[in-house]
Amino acid sequence: MSYGHRLFFHKDIYNLKDTDDLFLNAILENIKHHTDKCQDYAKIISHQGFSIKDVKTIEDLYKIPPIPTLFLKNHTLYSAPQNKLMLKSTTSGTSGKVSEIALDLPSAWNGLGMVLGTFLTNKLVSFYPTNYVVLGYQPSKRNKIGAVKTAYATTYAAPAIHREYALKDTGTDYVLNMNGIKNALLRYEKMGLPVRFMGFPAYFSFLLKELIYSGIKLKLHPKSLIILAGGWKNLFTEQVDKTALYEMSQRVLGLGNDRIKEFFGAVEHPIAYFNCPNHHFHVPIYSRVIIRDLNMQPVGYGVPGMLNLITPMMASMPFVSVMTDDLAIMHPGEECGCGISSPYFEILGRVGLGDIKTCAANALELLDIKKCGVV
């Protein structure tokens, strides 16, 4: 069994200390695979003066050149033949550019281990028949957005009786289904079964305000759950904070702080970071997180910087080290008080586009083709 497979099926998902060596070996294994299979990735990291020999300990991970998500939205890099790729999806592309992800069998196997470990640890698996409110698009063959597929897949964590979508597929377009959501919630309340909500905080906030405007106040099954897909930066313009949103949820749905779960993730870094009871994103064994300044140097705890995510999950695409467009800050696990020892990060907002372009410049100059050669 490869180092990667052993890592992703490890039982203790927050035990970084005892899995450091396993993670390091999995990363080295992953880098060698991608440099052998993707000529352009090998060219990018070589141009940065990187050698795999530079990474001798877990503290050396910062030396791996991160690839910015802005670059990945313009250039798709593969490390596997097209006929081996499956489960393709993209970002939502709100900025006009999209990133693509495609898993081969080894990548999907790693992902399965992560999902099992993460969902079981966070007690998201239930045998209770459950109704779902998905605050996003109804799945369709023409919709390849990763968030749509993720939301649908999450409905299998508990047996689905019914799924109601905020955006319903007409066959040619999507229409807002707010009245359908309201009517479904009234039915769900009468059925007396758990209800699970899934979506971005902004969408959930909008739903709660619509229910208040319509004079609807519910008392849902106590095992109901709200799963928010990170994205608090999407609420900045509305100035809605977590405390206010949680209080509104308690008032309108009867579901408060202890029934709200959040997760953070990215198409270019398909690791799920679920929040702890204190609503912090602790780093699981499947990844390591580095905060960098504008000179790309790592910074310590308590210092804001750009969020760099590292994982050996992907064999199909060289997403070993990815620089997001998120501004974040790291904290030691002990500051949280939830009992999880691994450090946690807090998303503060988005880095300026100019900063990301600067980070991507060297890689962009290297490539004069849009697709990586596949071997």
Mean pLDDT (whole number) for 298-306 = 96
Q: How many residues does the chain have?
A: 375
What pLDDT does residue 3 have?
96
Per-residue pLDDT at 368: 40
- Spans of all domains in the chain: 3-91+287-350, 116-265+356-372
Report the pLDDT value the prediction gives residue 97, as an integer from 0 to 100: 61
Q: What is the pTM of this model?
A: 0.86
Taking 90 as the threshold, does the pLDDT of residue 370 lie above it? Answer: no
pLDDT tens-digit profile of 242-271?
788 999 999 999 999 999 999 888 888 999
Instruction: Give residue 79's pLDDT.
Output: 96
13: amino acid identity, one letter: I
pLDDT over 50 (residue 367):
no
DSSP state of 84: G
Handedness of CA 238, 205, 199, 177 (dihedral sign): negative
Task: State residue 324's pLDDT score.
Answer: 92
DSSP-based three-state secondary structure for 35: helix
Task: State residue 119's pLDDT score.
Answer: 94
Listed ranges 97-106, 143-152, 327-336; the one with the highest mean pLDDT: 327-336
- Report pLDDT for 253: 97
User: What would the mean pLDDT of 351-358 be, rounded to a whole number?
Assistant: 53
b/e code 152-164 from CB counts within 10 Å (16+ = b): bebbebbeeeebb
Place of tokens 């779960």: 261
Judged against a pLDDT cut of 60, whether residue 95 lies above it is answered with: no
pLDDT interval class at 372 (50, 70, 90): very low
pLDDT value of position 18: 96
The pLDDT of residue 269: 93
Under 8 Å between Cβ of 241 and 273: no
Helix axis angle for 353-366 and 39-47, nearest 10°, is 110
**Architecture of the domain made up of 116-265+356-372:** 3-Layer(aba) Sandwich (3.40)
Q: What pLDDT is recorded for position 218?
A: 97
* Least confident stretch, 33-37, 87-91, 139-143, 275-279: 87-91
Calculate the CA 157 to chain-centre distance. 17
- For 309, the token pair is 């995510």
Hey, what are 110's tokens? 């790693």
CB 254, CB 197: distance < 8 Å = no
Per-residue model confidence as pLDDT tens digits over 11-67: 999 999 999 999 999 999 999 999 999 999 999 999 999 999 999 999 999 999 999
| Helix, strand, coil in percent for the chain, rounding step 5 | 40, 25, 35
- In sign, the C-alpha dihedral spanning 353, 357, 359, 364 is positive
Structure tokens at 323: 């620089």
**Contact (Cβ atoms closer than 8 angstroms) between residue 34 and residue 79:** yes
Query: What pLDDT is stored for residue 101 in this prediction?
Result: 84
| Mean pLDDT within 340-354 | 83
- The whole-chain average pLDDT of the chain stands at 87
pLDDT over 80 (residue 365): no
Write down the pLDDT at residue 75. Answer: 86
* 3-state class (DSSP) for residue 363: helix
Region class of 199: left (phi > 0), else alpha (psi between -120 and 50), else beta: left
